[in-house]
Amino acid sequence: MLEHLAALIVVVPLVAAPLIVLVRSRRFAWIATTAASYLSLLFSVQLFWRVATLGPVSYAIGSWAPPWGIEYRVDALSSFVLVAVSLTASFVAPYAQRSIAREVARDRQYLMYAMYCLCLSGLLGIAITGDAFNLFVFLEISSLASYVLVALGPRRQSLMAAYQYMLMGTVGATFYVIGVGLLYLMTGTLNLADMAQRLPGVPDVRPVLVALAFITVGIGLKLALFPLHQWLPNAYAYAPSMATAFLAATATKVSVYVLLRFYFGVFDPARLFEHLPTREVFVALSLAAMVAASLVAVFEQDVKRLFAYSSVAQIGYITLGIGVDNQASLTGSIVHLLNHGVTKGAIFLLLGGVALRAGAAAVRLETLAGLGRRMPLTALGLALAGLSLVGVPGTAGFITKWYLVVGALERGWWWVVAAILASSLIALAYVWRVLEAAYLRPPAASAARGEAPAPMLAAGMAMTALCVYFGFETSFSAGGAADAAALLLRGLR
């Protein structure tokens, strides 16, 4: 069984989805979802451990040897992403029951679970596959499922948000597949490692450059690279709470993984970063995201939308590390996949509880008034996770900032350091608005008291605890990210 782990991790949630649709019982759906999430966490931790001790795992689907068959390949980078995704899933799944029961119509609830399982399976598949076309398939599975997740949202605008998300996502996926098609044309292979070996021998580089542009913009759309982020704020704001938390913590992060894999494992990084203006473009777009999106968050009144813009800014941190392109900055990027995942996951889980207690679909700043007295634990969790967004020491966000600053300093880029620090001050400004509403404004007379239901509160607080835990104990988070960054700089070999 152990040698089939790589396949099982994808298959388990993939099988759970149709089962849920067939049985159509809400209770079964929830149990199956939770079981699939926990199993995927178990498998990915085992895989991570195996990769850390024994080196990369290669698994040939259907025993067709690569590069002809589809290869599942788990290395330090992909196992790290697998753990990050399944970790989030294992917090979201137990949370889902009460939250979905409240936000989604009864006859559609099983669909929510099924789509969530499909999405999880797709995201894990993206991280594990070593085949460019198989990756496209998983990208589509996860994306289609997430469009539905957003569309099932409780607000009037959910459908429109899902529609725009779907159009943009489809454009992104199409661009990606065009890029892969061009690469296939030039190299004759779809296996990523094989492709990397053959690319240097390709005589005509123009189609490769076109492929690079298509893949960059396509995946840039998926990961909400500024200014391709337009779909994200509404999709996050209008999705059901559990979907927002899950997508914010995982979907864009896995897309970053795809970009890393192509930039460092397929295209020649030396060429990409030395001859092409990749570095300049990524640093410029990232800084723009960190400032422009944070500033929007400072003015935003809808709290979920506020934190969605904050996500765009935080993705700026991740892509900044790619642009700076050294060991420390890439460690910062990769560790932020996890750190921002747990931080935003915690925030959106807790906001889901607030929405449920407020009995409103939208959480506005006024909704938070007096939260410190009405829901003290939730407010505390929001405060801690908010500090992690700012990057205060002792929280996960600080670890990221440390590596990014060190990476920028190694290049002697003091102005990038200044921009990182300025953007954290802007982050403080918008986090403060939330805390000010929660602690300093008196609660409305009609506002309900009491915490969210225990399973929801527990999931949110557990993720908050992770924000703090990863601020102190970094042997898994920063250690795993450093291994992955070293692997990237070796060209994923």
Partner 1 sequence: MISHPGLVLIAAAVLMAPLRGWPRAAVALLGSASSVFLSFQAGDGVHLTIEYLGMQLAPFAVDKLSRLFAIIFALMALGGALFALNQPRRLELPAAFLYAGAAIGATLAGDLVTLFVFWELMAVGSTLVLWSASTPRAGAASMRYLMVHLFGGMLLFAGVAGHVLESGSTAFTAMGIASLPEKLILAAFLVNAAAWPLSAWLPDAYPEASWSGMVFLSAFTTKTAVYALLRGFPGVELLVYAGLAMVFYGIIYALLENDMRRILAYSIVNQVGFMVTGIGIGSEMALNGAAAHAFTHILYKALLLMSAGSVLLVTGRRKCTDLGGLYRSMPFTTACGIVGALAISSFPLTSGFVSKSMISQAAADGHLPVVWMLLAAASAGVFLHAGIKFPWFVFFQKDSGLRPPEPPWNMRAAMALLAALCIGLGIFYEPLYRLLPYAGDYVPYTGWHVVAQLQLLLFSGLAFFVMLGWLRRTLTVTLDFDWFYRVLFPALFLAAGRVLAAALGAGGAAGARLGAMLESAVRRLHGPGGAFARTWRTGSMALGVMAMLLAFLLTYYLR
Q: Which residues contact partner 1 (rule: CB under 8 A)?
A: 163-164, 167-168, 171, 175, 206, 209-210, 212-214, 216-217, 220-221, 227-228, 230-231, 233-234, 275-277, 281, 292-293, 295-296, 298-301, 309, 387, 390, 392-394, 399, 401-403, 405-406, 409-410, 414, 417-418, 421, 424-425, 428-429, 432, 436, 439-440, 474, 478, 482
Give the residue with the Cβ less far from partner 1, 101 or 210: 210
Give the residue with the Cβ less far from partner 1, 306 or 355: 306
Q: How far is the CB of 21 from partner 1 (least distance, A)?
A: 30
Q: How far is CA 371 from CA 37, 359, 433, in A?
A: 31, 14, 13
Pairwise CA distance, residues 481 & 59, whole Å: 23
Q: Is 391 left (phi over 0), alpha (psi -120 to 50) or beta?
A: left
Give the residue with the Cβ less far from partner 1, 56 or 394: 394
Q: How far is the CB of 276 from partner 1 (least distance, A)?
A: 6
* CB 362 within 8 Å of CB 476: no
Pairwise CA distance, residues 241 & 226, whole Å: 24
Q: How far is the CB of 35 from partner 1 (least distance, A)?
A: 36
Q: How far is the CB of 436 from partner 1 (least distance, A)?
A: 7
Tell me the one-letter amino acid at 88: T
Q: Is 62 left (phi over 0), alpha (psi -120 to 50) or beta?
A: left
Contacts of 270 (CB under 8 A, 6+ apart): none
Give the residue with the Cβ less far from partner 1, 152 or 420: 420
Give the residue with the Cβ less far from partner 1, 197 or 230: 230
Give the residue with the Cβ less far from partner 1, 120 or 212: 212
Q: How far is the CB of 426 from partner 1 (least distance, A)?
A: 10
Q: How far is the CB of 367 from partner 1 (least distance, A)?
A: 17
For residue 60, the cross-strand partners are: 71
* CB 359 within 8 Å of CB 394: no
Residue with the two structure tokens 């979920």? 304
Q: How far is the CB of 281 from partner 1 (least distance, A)?
A: 7
Pairwise CA distance, residues 398 & 389, whole Å: 8
Give the residue with the Cβ less far from partner 1, 405 or 456: 405
Q: How far is the CB of 432 from partner 1 (least distance, A)?
A: 6
Give the residue with the Cβ less far from partner 1, 188 or 227: 227
Q: How far is the CB of 105 from partner 1 (least distance, A)?
A: 25
Give the residue with the Cβ less far from partner 1, 88 or 464: 464
Give the residue with the Cβ less far from partner 1, 89 or 285: 285
Give the residue with the Cβ less far from partner 1, 8 or 417: 417
Give the residue with the Cβ less far from partner 1, 46 or 327: 327
Q: How far is the CB of 356 from partner 1 (least distance, A)?
A: 25
Contacts of 84 (CB under 8 A, 6+ apart): 250, 253, 337, 338, 341
Q: How far is the CB of 298 from partner 1 (least distance, A)?
A: 7
Q: How far is the CB of 158 from partner 1 (least distance, A)?
A: 13
Give the residue with the Cβ less far from partner 1, 138 or 413: 413
Q: How far is the CB of 361 from partner 1 (least distance, A)?
A: 17
